[in-house]
Amino acid sequence: DVLHSTASEYLVQSFVGQGTFGLVAKCRNIATDANVAIKIIKNKGKLINQTAAEISALRKLRRLDPDKSNIVLWYGHFIEKGNNCLVFEQLDKSLQNLMVERKWKPLYIKEIRPIVQQVANALSYLKALQLLHGDIKLHNIMLVNHEVEPFRIKLIDFGLTYNASATLPGHIFQTLPYRCPEVFLGLPLTAAIDMWSLGCVAAVLFLGALLFEGKHDYDIVNHLIHQLSADYLAEMSDLLMFVDMLKRMFQFDGAQRITSRQLLEHQFITTSHIKPFYHLSCYSQSCHEIMKVFEIPGSRDAVPQSSQQVNISSAQPKHNVCSSPPTHPAVMAGQVQLQAAKENSGTTSNYKRKPELDDPKDPKKPWKQKLKLSARSPARYTHLLIFLRRFSEFTNCQLYFIDYLHVASIQTQTNPDRPTDLQQRHKH
C-alpha cells in the first residue's frame, strides 16, 4: 500500500502497532528513501478533538531539539482516505516490547537510571511549555536504536497532552495502572501527574510486574489504599532503616564500624524515622509496645552494662490488634527465598521448596518472580530481604532507587514540591 500526502508518497512496509485510535505503520518515503513511522488515526468521535489537540501540542514541541529534549521528531501530517496521518521519525521499539522480549525479567538498576533521567528530561521540556503528557507508560517510551545506543529513549504519543492551565477537574488521563490519585479523585491536575506515572514505569522495570495492577478503577484504588497505607509505608521506611543499620555493622574497616553506643542511637533502634510521620499507624504503635521489653523497672533510661541486668521472659507478650507480629506476605516470601538459597548452597534443612509459579522458560507465562506475591506485597521487599545473602551486591544506588519509588508513590497533588523532591534524588 502507498499513502499519499501533498508533498510525498510513503510505501507501507509493515504495521507495528494498533489501538482504539487506529494503526501505526512503518513506511519508506519513496522520494527520499527515508524510513518513517506513520500514525494513522480514525477521524471519528472523540478522536477528532483528540487528534486536533495532539497536532497542536506537536507544533509547540517542533521548536525543540528532538535529541536534547528526548522527544520524538514530528515531520508533519496529512489526510488519507479521511483519516489523519501523523509522520514521525522511525524509532526502534518501546519499553513494553523490550520487557516482552525479556519475558518480563527486571532490568538492572544501572539500566533503569538513564531511562528515568531521559523521561524526566523530556517532562521538564514539556513543563517549560506548560504542557502535561498525560499518558506516561511503557508503550510510550521508545528506544531509539537499542543495539547502537543502548537505553537511549524518546517520548512519544501526545494524544492526551494538554496545556496544564487548561485541564479541568474530572478529565480522565493516564492508562489505568499508571493513574495517580488526583485523577481518581477528580482534583485539579498539573504536570505532577506525569511524575506519578514515571514512578510506576520505574517500578515495573525494577520488578518485572505492574506495581498497581487491575482492570477497573476499583482495583487500582484498592491497591493504593492497601499499598500506600500508613502501616505499609511505615514498614517500608523501617526496612530501609534496617538495611542502613546492617551496612554500618558490615563495614570492612573495623574503625569505621558502628559502635554499640552509636547503634543504640541509630534510627532503626529509636524508631525516630517512624514516629513523626506514622505515629498513628498500628505498625508504629506495635513497634513502641514491643520495644518496652528494653525498659528496666526502676531504671527506665539506663543502658544495661551487663547481660545479667536484662531478664527477657520467654513468655509470649500480650498483643492487641495493632501489635500483632509481622505477617507481611513479602517478608514471608523473602524468608522462603533465603531458605531456598540455603538449599542451593548445600546447607542441610528440612524445608521443602515450593514449586515455582512462573516459569521463566515458559514463553506463555510472564517472568515475574519465583514466588507469586499478592497485590499487597510488591517484590521490592523480597529484593531487600535477599540482601542478607548478597550483601556485596546491595549498593547505595539500590537504596536510593527504593527511596525514589517511595517518594514517587506517596506524594500526591496536595504536595506541590513533588517534582523538586524527585529532581533532588535524580542527582544521586
Residues forming the active site: 135
What is residue 29's three-state secondary structure?
Answer: strand
In the numeric block, which cell numbers belong to residue 370? 519465583
To 5 degrees, how large is the angle CA 370–CA 373–CA 378?
Answer: 105
Checking 211-216 for CB contacts under 8 A at 24+ apart, the result is 211/177, 211/378, 211/409, 212/177, 213/177, 213/375, 214/176, 214/177, 215/176, 216/176
Q: What is the DSSP letter of 153?
A: E
Nearest to 270, CA basis, from 252, 288, 247: 288
* Alpha helices, DSSP H, located in 307-368: 329-344
CA 110 from chain centre, in angstroms, equals: 15
In the numeric block, which cell numbers belong to residue 414? 496536595
Nearest to 202, CA basis, from 290, 131, 108: 108
Residue 46 annotated as binding site: no
CA dihedral 203, 207, 209, 212 (to 10 degrees): -40
Phi/psi at 363 (5° precision) = -65, -15
What is the C-alpha to C-alpha distance for residues 14 and 30, in angstroms, rounded to an integer? 15
What is residue 114's three-state secondary structure?
Answer: helix
Binding-site annotation, residues for ATP: 39
Binding-site annotation, residues: 39
